[in-house]
Structure 1
């Protein structure tokens, strides 16, 4: 029997990050109860929380019926708004889990950011998560706002799906989509799903678990954007993937699809990064560089003339 060799990065900062994550969130967390997963995840996120930038304010409220948190930097440089959809496999995560990440993106982009507290599985299954996010998006666009849609992991899946829904329903005003190590509906058996099946931070078995708990139809392009017949007419995209991540090739393939259909794409693969590297941005050189590139792209999208 051949022993499975776990792929591992070499950068010291990201290895320290992984060790710290393992101390809060065990590798077999998906085998625990939902309540336990959420407790572990909340503790992990609290460990990486940071004070908001000077002068920034945040305000919780409803947009429609959906809870949101609005971040306003001291210096707002563009009227374009950022819509953020958090990761967590549709099972964990909240307005608090990505608080510092959202604040720093808003500060660096000089733009107001709205974070969406969409409902979670298994209590709420597909399409509730997408519908919650779409409700917020439609109301913002209805006010005449220009929007950059941003999401990481499961939130990246929702962000890509929102741009498809908006295009197909004729909604205007999305000026960019930013997909960070997003789950986009790959086949689970080839490419990075096989090569990085036992990657640290997220395994292919974990991805399979999160898909199953969401209960999205297997043939639904909004849930699995790689299934969309055409990407023509979608907004410009910045796609960031981590090399040591089973979701890596989802981003690679989607970037290629978008480019082939005439959509402007900026693609970046972080060579030493793992899934969820955003949290390591202050302890890993590679994550810091990736975060700065991400923020530059968001700012450029937000400031681009329509």
Structure 2
């Protein structure tokens, strides 16, 4: 049995992190929902994936931005998560690629998020924007930069990263030795070129469509959800995932508690009022 490489988010070169992260996610791809068809599709930013549930219901298509601290990840690393989102919403989920740091520095990602969403919205009456971790910020940047933001029916942030570097959740969970911790988080923001969070946060959408904030209780960046809620006029629904760590929704297909939360997310998306 192969052993996944241990990722040192602070010291490993980005190329090694990308390869190791992709290998980790590939090792769980067999947990993808088996009633969802997965196809490659073109985006303004390159090739991504479309997840089509066999039981397809009426409703807006979902544009998904993957996480990975803006330095790793792709639509393929989030195949399992997106397939379960498609299954439990009954909607098509389109996972888009975007340019990663450190080759591309902020605000490139904010600009590109808006461009991807704008072109995705062309020819569609309504869309839903969703993303996890770094992808949560991509969602808010897209909503803030789109000319046709009136087409956004809803926004979904899964344990989003919104520039926080300290607070109670960091004190409680920021010293963990695996996965996301405070040291790794600072490196990720450093690669992005965002030592100063003022412009980062200024580009986040401040008003518009309903926003679902999914917070993992045992996540170092859980406080980011509270900061965003206090600094936006989006109508907000809070969903707290008790006892869950950052990125727990990657375990859908192998963890019934993760699937239960994804089911709640699906209920919220299906319940959005059509205008």
Same fold (TM over 0.5): yes
- 2:232 matches 1:250: no
Aligned counterpart, 2:274 = 305
Distance 1:25 1:246 in 2: 23
The normalised TM-score by structure 2 is 0.89
> Given the alignment, which residue of 160, 167, 175 partners 1:182?
160
Q: Distance in 2 between matches of 1:51 and 1:287?
A: 12
Which stretch of the first structure deviates more once superposed, 204-213 or 276-285? 276-285
SS of equivalent to 1:238: strand
Q: Residue 242 of structure 2 aligns to a residue in which SS?
A: strand
- Structure 1 unmatched ranges of 5 or more: 1-22
Give CA-to-partner distance per residue, 1:114-154, whole Å, 9 cap, x none. Answer: 11111111122222223333222111222133111101011
Partner of 1:112: 92
How big is the shift at 1:191?
A: 2.4
Kindly state the Cα deviation for residue 197 of structure 1 after the two structures are TM-superposed.
1.7
Q: Which has the larger radius of gyration?
A: 1
Q: Deviations over 1:176-216 (max 9, x none)?
A: 11001110122x13322233221353111111111110014
Cα 1:254/1:84, change in 2 over 3 Å: same
How many residue pairs are counted as aligned between the two chains?
Answer: 272
Determine which of 156, 165, 173 is the counterpart of 2:151: 173
RMSD, aligned α-carbons: 2.3
Please state whether the residue corresponding to 1:67 is helix, strand or coil. strand
CA distance in 2 between counterparts of 1:252 and 1:285 reads 26
Q: CA deviation at 1:44?
A: 0.8
In the alignment, is the contact (CA less than 8 A) between 2:121 and 2:151 conserved in 1? yes
Are 1:193 and 2:170 an aligned pair? yes
Alignment TM-score, normalising by the size of structure 1: 0.80
Q: Quick one: which of 273, 278, 281 aligns to 2:249? A: 278
Judged with a 3 Å threshold, the aligned counterparts in structure 2 of structure 1 residues 171 and 283 are, in CA distance, closer, same or farther, namely closer
**Distance change in 2, residues 1:150/1:280 (3 Å):** same
Say if 2:63 and 2:94, in contact at 8 Å, map to a contact too: yes
In structure 2, stretches of 5+ residues that fail to align are: none
Once residues 50 and 145 of structure 1 are traced to their aligned partners in structure 2, the CA distance between those partners, rounded to angstroms, is 34
Check conservation: 1:201, 1:276, Cα contact below 8 A.
Answer: no
1:62 and 2:31 correspond: no
For the residue of structure 1 that corresponds to 2:106, the secondary structure is coil
